[in-house]
Structure 1
Amino acid sequence: MIRHDQSLYNAVLRGDWAGLSPMWNWPYSRSARPFATMRYPHIVRFIGTLKPRADRKGRYSLRFAQICDRFIADHFPDRPRAPVSGGLSPESRLMRKMLMKHFLPSSKLARYLGRFPSDLTVIR
């Protein structure tokens, strides 16, 4: 198995599948992060070890930190809550690095997103 569960799906479906808009499974990475703030994906998958609930330096959008904070407050009221950070400063080194990583693959990602005129488009 090369890609774990994906290999199993490929074996079972054997080419009988359809492509859904990436808005339903958005991989939140440094290069895709600016697109996420412009497109507002429905389901966001955070790649890597850093998750919004543990973001102490404001690397993620304030929106995700607030959503996590509300969820923890509602469902785990006895758990200590981390302070919600204010997000990255536009002048920060990390922001410049992120924008550069976004700029390089942006035309490829824009073409891919362009294949889905709406979030409900299914490609066979």
Structure 2
Amino acid sequence: MTWNASSGATGYNVYRDGAKLNATPLASTGYTDGGLAASTSYTYQISSTGNGVESAKSAGVTGATTSGFVCSTTTASNYAHVTAGRAHDSGGYALANGSNQNMGLNNTFYTTTLAQTAAGYYVIGNCP
């Protein structure tokens, strides 16, 4: 993240969800926050320092991390999807794992494209 310099500031403090992230004031107007949890929102605030005095914190800005999961598609026979664990058999039909969408008969003659949109969750079609 970056922010505009404050007149007279000699350093900056960064806060995430109210907790100060840096031990000593930063000289630059940028900060990279690492080690964040996937699919989580965080609120950041900045304060400036000068002559040993810290300003009030800025208004909060919220950012969110992504799940880190990348959607992928596989086109195969329904039988191959079931064998590979992307679908399961129910009464002779192949159902996509997670969404339980009916893909048709569980055999090698029916071909379906499945999109894995989350870990263990498949939908019929392509990635969004």
TM over 0.5: no
**Higher strand share goes to which structure?**
2
If the length of structure 1 is used for normalisation, what is the TM-score? 0.20
Greater relative contact order, per chain length (Cα 8 Å cut-off, separation 6+):
1
More helix by share: 1
TM (normalized to structure 2)? 0.19
